[in-house]
Amino acid sequence: MTTTNFIDDQTVIEASWLNDVDEAIYTTVPANQITVNNHIADTTDAHAASAITNTPAGAIAATTIQAAINELDTEKAPKDSPTFTTVVSVPIPTWAGSAVRLDQVSQYPSVSSHATTMDIFLAGGATVGVSGTTTVTAIPNCTAAQVGSTKTIIPSDAAGFSITASASLVVDGATSGTYLMPQNANIQIIATSVSTYKITTIEASGTFTGTLVGCTTNPTAVFRYKKSGGITSISQQTSLTGTSNSSGKSITGMPNALFPSVNTAFHVTTQDNGGAYVVSAASIGTNGTITLYKDPTGNAFTASGTFDMVTLTVSYPL
């Protein structure tokens, strides 16, 4: 091959130089291209996970994919018998469509009853246990995002605790009076605004002591009650017997939470002046007082002799 001069007739290019360049191009480029093609086609181990960058986010601090996977494995809860360090929200177990299973109450977060600082909306989860017996007169404000939400509370103390109703704490429709929240009752509290709450006792059962008025003494009897689905049932557990000194007879002591919304009429079995036992009329007023009558027509009792009431069973809507 001959030599070639540029236009300036000064720079000389030897033909052998071009041959060397040609050989380098055609030898090197195909070899590199094969390497690239093989890398692209490799679907198993083209890159190790430890060589791929991970951008840390959330609770993952690792900066490579391999380290991030390892970190996740050590920080997640195991599938079998996990142990948690904070409160875990779980669905509310139910029976009959509404009530919390009382044997599972211990799994829920708990707060203490307090006149003004029982902040159930600060506690995690939809169900909250309440310990203590202090009467609650106010619940701290919830957040705007919590308005309309519902908390279920379950008193754990054997004596329960009470809530004083007001315009901001409406208890079973009442805005006044003090209401007992008995142990293991299923009570729903709805935030109607950031500072007002509607309280409904959905499931509750227990006993109260009724006192007979209208005798020379004030005999008492145990009454058992159950609230379920808006219906209250009351039954007499022991008889009420005394010496009559008034033509009127009544029983007091019903908890406010059991008061009916309207007067409720029913029948009982009574004895007047030591006579025969007969079916008698009775009624529960909206103030919880049970008024008794001598017979089904509503006549008055004799203001002397032995009085006895042996049967009282009634159910009514709140």
The CATH homologous superfamily to which domain 205-317 belongs is Virus attachment protein , globular domain (2.60.90.20)
The closest of 291, 270, 267 to 281, measured between CA atoms, is: 267
Q: Where are the beta strands (DSSP E) in the chain?
A: 4-5, 12-13, 94-95, 99-100, 110-112, 127-131, 150-155, 161-164, 169-171, 178-181, 186-191, 197-213, 220-228, 231-236, 240-243, 249-252, 264-271, 277-284, 290-292, 306-317
- Mean pLDDT is highest, among 178-182, 256-260, 266-270, for 266-270
Q: Read off the pLDDT of each residue in 188-198 and give the average, rounded to a whole number.
A: 93
Q: Which residue has the tokens 């469509």?
A: 97
Classify residue 233 by its DSSP letter. E
Is the pLDDT confidence value at 2 over 60?
A: no
- Categorize the per-residue pLDDT at 18 as very low, low, confident or very high, splitting at 50, 70 and 90: low
pLDDT digits (tens, 9 = 90+) for 117-172: 888 888 878 888 888 889 999 999 999 999 999 998 888 888 888 888 899 998 87
- Single-letter code of the amino acid located at 112: S
Q: Kind and range of the H or E element at 37?
A: helix 15-41
Beta-carbon contacts of residue 22 (< 8 Å; ≥ 6 apart): none
Q: Residue 259 CB: number of other CB atoms within 10 A?
A: 21
Closest CA to 270 of 228, 217, 215: 215
**pLDDT at 260 > cutoff 80:** yes
Q: For residue 19, name the pLDDT band (cuts at 50, 70, 90).
A: low
CA distance 163 to 231: 20
pLDDT on residue 129 = 87
The structure tokens listed for 233 are 């049932």
* Calpha distance 15→127 (Å, rounded): 91
211/10 Cα distance (integer angstroms) = 131
Look at residue 99 and tell me whether its pLDDT is greater than 50: no
Write the pLDDT tens digit of every residue in 56-93.
888 888 888 888 888 888 877 776 767 766 655 554 44
pLDDT of residue 201: 76
Q: Quick: pLDDT tens for 210-245.
A: 999 999 999 999 998 888 767 899 999 788 999 999
- Give the confidence band of 50 by pLDDT, cuts at 50, 70, 90: confident
- Alpha-carbon span 190 to 8, nearest angstrom: 96
> Which tops the pLDDT comparison, 105 or 191?
191
- The Cβ-side half-sphere exposure at 308, using a 13 Å CA radius, reads 10
CA dist 264 → 13, 282, 283, 286, 297 (Å): 121, 8, 5, 8, 16
